[in-house]
C-alpha cells in the first residue's frame, strides 16, 4: 500500500471507531508519532469525544455522512446512492442495507482501496469530486468542535490529505 493510501485508510478507520488501542497500533504502523501521542494523552476520553462529535442524540455538531452536508438535510440521500454504485462496481456490498454508505470513514477507506488497486486517475478524480470534496469543510467543524487532541489532529491531517488529493 502506498503512503498516501495508508494515510487515507488510517483516517477512515479513525472516523469509524474510537478504539484507542486499535488506533494507536494503526498510527504506529503508519509511523506517525503525533497521532500516537494524541491518543495516549487521554485514551479514556476518546470515545466520549467521538460520541459528542458524531453520535450525539441531542444533535451531532459534525454529522459524518456526506448526505447530511449535501443540502438535502437527510441521510440515505443521493450521495449514499452514488457511493453504493461505486462500491458495487468494485464488488463491495454494504453489511447492512439500512446503514448510510456515505460515512466519511467508509469513503476514506474506499478511496484508499481505489489507490491500492491502481485505479485510473480519471476515475479517482471523479470519485474525489463526487464524494470527497465536502470533507475539508467537515474537518473544519471537527477541528472547531473537537474536545480531544486526537480529533483536532485528525481533522487537520485529513483536510490536508484531501486538499492535496483534490
Taking only the tens place, the pLDDT of each residue in 58-110 is 788 999 999 988 876 677 788 998 999 999 999 887 776 677 899 999 999 99
For the residues 132-154, what does the mean pLDDT come to? 96
The pLDDT of residue 76: 78
On the question of pLDDT at 134 being above 70, the answer is: yes
On the question of pLDDT at 159 being above 90, the answer is: yes
* Residues ≥6 apart with Cβ < 8 Å to 111: 8, 12, 124, 127, 128, 131, 132, 165
Determine how many CB atoms are found less than 10 A away from the CB of residue 33. 10
Taking only the tens place, the pLDDT of each residue in 11-58 is 999 999 999 999 999 999 999 999 999 999 999 999 999 999 999 777
**Which CATH topology does 3-165 take?**
TorD-like (1.10.3480)
Nearest Cα neighbor of 32 from 165, 161, 166 is 161
Where do the structural domains in the chain lie, given as residue ranges?
Answer: 3-165
The pLDDT of residue 92: 86
Amino acid at each position: 500500500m502506498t503512503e498516501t493510501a495508508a494515510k487515507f485508510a488510517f483516517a477512515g478507520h479513525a472516523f469509524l471507531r474510537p478504539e484507542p488501542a486499535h488506533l494507536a497500533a494503526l498510527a504506529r504502523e503508519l509511523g506517525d508519532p503525533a497521532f500516537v501521542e494524541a491518543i495516549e494523552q487521554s485514551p479514556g476520553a476518546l470515545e466520549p469525544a467521538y460520541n459528542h462529535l458524531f453520535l450525539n442524540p441531542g444533535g451531532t455538531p459534525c454529522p459524518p455522512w456526506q448526505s447530511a452536508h449535501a443540502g438535502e438535510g437527510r441521510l440515505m440521500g443521493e450521495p449514499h446512492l452514488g457511493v453504493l454504485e461505486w462500491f458495487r462496481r468494485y464488488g463491495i456490498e454494504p453489511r447492512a442495507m439500512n446503514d448510510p454508505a456515505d460515512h466519511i470513514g467508509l469513503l476514506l477507506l474506499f478511496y484508499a482501496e481505489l489507490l491500492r488497486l491502481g485505479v485510473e486517475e480519471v476515475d479517482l478524480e471523479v470519485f474525489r469530486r463526487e464524494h470527497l470534496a465536502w470533507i475539508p469543510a467537515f474537518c473544519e467543524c471537527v477541528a472547531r468542535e473537537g474536545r480531544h487532541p486526537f480529533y483536532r489532529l485528525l481533522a487537520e491531517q485529513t483536510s490536508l490529505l484531501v486538499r492535496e488529493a483534490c
